[in-house]
Structure 1
Amino acid sequence: MPIHTLIADDEPAARHRLRRLARQEPDLDIIAECADGATAVEQIRALQPELAIVDVHMPRLDGLAVAEAAHALESPPLFIFVTAFAEHAMKAFRVAALDYLLKPVEPEQFARAIQRARTTLAQQSSAAMGDKLSALLAELGRDGGAAGAVRAAAAGATGGFLERIPVRHDDRVTYVRSRDVDYFEATGNYVRLHVGKQVLQVRQTMAALEHELDPDQFVRIHRQTIVNLDRVREVQPWFAGDFIVLLQDGTDLRISRTYREKFDAAMSRGRR
């Protein structure tokens, strides 16, 4: 299956380099090239690519704004950001970037990012097929079987907050204990579960997930991030009134001003 891909960079030489690297990946199909962010948003809406490789610095709209606009779509693409400045990497991941590439982009670096895209797209396809199967079971009146078992197991013995999260792998379902997840990260119509060095993915909205998790254990700190409070090591000031949460493993996550008060209240309850 080809990966329909959009490239956006205001520098012609940079677009040429990305195009040349893309030719080394037989399943990449470049369906659009854009020289500014506004055009990139228009093309993403019109063409619905699976992957967008976007420069951070562009006229009219920068790459981060392009990603923010695209994530409002029903099926946003995966984003790989290209930047000449390493400090932009943190901002890139805060808008659910799949990866970022430092200019000048090296072939090995590009190939690794594309392989991550392949893996993620395959996981999304598997999850979508699982959703279709559940819908079919429900339509046939068999929801109390396979699909019902998944929900029952996820709810836990108490029937309260979500204790185990079902993760589909092709035709299998495995369960991850909620308390083992370091943080949850939204990416389009999916949520990534960061469990140590492992990253899993489920089809779920952040709003629905937030209501199912224990608020004494998990708190939303950004539109795209829910953190396990047991993993929080310290908080540091960042830019424009925002703060950074440092986790026990060194991961840094941004707290937006919208969620700062909620985070402070959760931490001050003294239950961690």
Structure 2
Amino acid sequence: MNTGPIRTLLVDDEVLARLALRQALAAHADFEIVGECGNAAEAMQAVAALAPDLLFLDIRMPGLDGFRLLHQLRPDTLPMVVFATAYGQHALRAFDANALDYVLKPLDQARFDQALARVRRHWRGLHARTPAGISPATGGPVQRLSVRVGEHIRVIAVETIDWIEADGNYVHIHVGKQAYLHRETLRGLLAALDPGRFLRIHRGTLVNVERIREIHPLFQGNAEVVLHDGTRLNLSRRFRLHARRALGMA
């Protein structure tokens, strides 16, 4: 599989820090530096203009810090992220922000290379035939999803999922009282999940039909789906006919 170089944007207010990143990346021909930014405002413009695949991102910068920068970016434009910072106390928060890795300055080349290896693995997953985080199908729909939770990977049996909500290039997977943020599109999940189990009831919502308890008709052809735990979801008119057939409604 040849996907081209991983287009990389460096975001750090210190010129010497950006130089160190350039030097550390020099030995890796599959990474292409497409730009450098000294603050979050420049980075927001660069992400919009350059559409990088990867950000090397400092945390403490003038104006918006690295975390607030990520919050400002639209989910559909968010690249892969590796934090490169002198402050070790933010590691857990970084993984909560779905960063792939967190390296400390001054950079250690061996540790830096480990971070790039993690980026490569994630990059290959994004460009595999099956969507990222989805177990390869063996003649049928997938039975498990692998979701990053902090520094760990949570394996979720699909039959335990209640419903799934789209959020740009991400989805929120609802399992009981837990909701897991996963970097995958709703369209990608639709292609991998069992259509006999998961029903699309809205442009941004999939629901496990085994979790549906009631359907409440509303005005103008819309309806409300009530799950076994009392969760209420909108069934839009656009998907109501398909839902009626899938649920055996008269």
Give the TM-score category using the shorter length. 0.5 to 0.7
Q: Distance in 2 between matches of 1:102 and 1:166?
A: 31
The sequence identity of aligned pairs, in percent, is 28
- Say if 2:121 is the partner of 1:119: yes
Equivalent residues in 2 for 1:89-100, closer than 5 Å: 89-100=91-102
Per-residue deviation at 1:69? 2.3
Q: C-alpha deviations, 1:82-113, integer Å up to 9, x for none? A: 11111111111111111001111110111111
Q: Which runs of 5+ in 2 are unaligned?
A: 157-163, 183-250
Amino acid at match of 1:80: V
SS in 2 for 1:100: strand
Q: Distance in 2 between matches of 1:50 and 1:42?
A: 15
Q: In angstroms, what is the RMSD of aligned CA positions?
A: 3.3
Is the CA contact (8 Å cut-off) linking 1:167 and 1:173 kept in structure 2? no
Per-residue deviation at 1:168? 3.1
Per-residue deviation at 1:175? 3.0
Show the counterpart of 1:219: 178
Q: 1:107 aligns with which of 89, 106, 109?
A: 109
User: CA 1:37/1:94 → structure 2, altered by over 3 Å: closer, same or farther?
Assistant: same
Q: Under a length normalisation based on structure 1, what TM-score does the superposition of the two structures give?
A: 0.54
Amino acid at match of 1:111: D
Q: Distance in 2 between matches of 1:98 and 1:61?
A: 21
Q: Distance in 1 between matches of 2:50 and 2:63?
A: 20
Is the CA contact (8 Å cut-off) linking 2:48 and 2:77 kept in structure 1? no
Show the counterpart of 2:89: 87
Show the counterpart of 2:173: 209
Is the CA contact (8 Å cut-off) linking 2:47 and 2:77 kept in structure 1? no
Is the CA contact (8 Å cut-off) linking 1:54 and 1:80 kept in structure 2? yes
Per-residue deviation at 1:219? 1.6
SS in 1 for 2:87: coil
- Say if 2:28 is the partner of 1:25: yes
More helix by share: 1
Per-residue deviation at 1:194? 2.1
Q: Distance in 2 between matches of 1:55 and 1:171?
A: 44
Amino acid at match of 1:33: E
Q: 1:40 aligns with which of 35, 40, 43?
A: 43
SS in 2 for 1:45: helix
Is the CA contact (8 Å cut-off) linking 1:184 and 1:194 kept in structure 2? yes
Per-residue deviation at 1:130? 3.7
Q: Which runs of 5+ in 1 are unaligned?
A: 132-164, 187-191, 197-202, 226-272
Is the CA contact (8 Å cut-off) linking 1:184 and 1:193 kept in structure 2? yes
Equivalent pairs counted in the alignment come to 167
Show the counterpart of 1:194: 154
SS in 2 for 1:194: strand
Q: C-alpha deviations, 1:36-90, integer Å up to 9, x for none? A: 11111110111111100011111121111122223x2314210000111111111
Runs of 4+ in 1 over 6 A off after TM superposition: 169-173
Q: Under a length normalisation based on structure 2, what TM-score does the superposition of the two structures give?
A: 0.58
User: CA 1:172/1:50 → structure 2, altered by over 3 Å: closer, same or farther?
Assistant: farther
Q: Distance in 1 between matches of 2:65 and 2:9?
A: 15
Structure whose CA Rg is larger: 2
User: CA 1:170/1:14 → structure 2, altered by over 3 Å: closer, same or farther?
Assistant: farther
- Say if 2:168 is the partner of 1:168: no
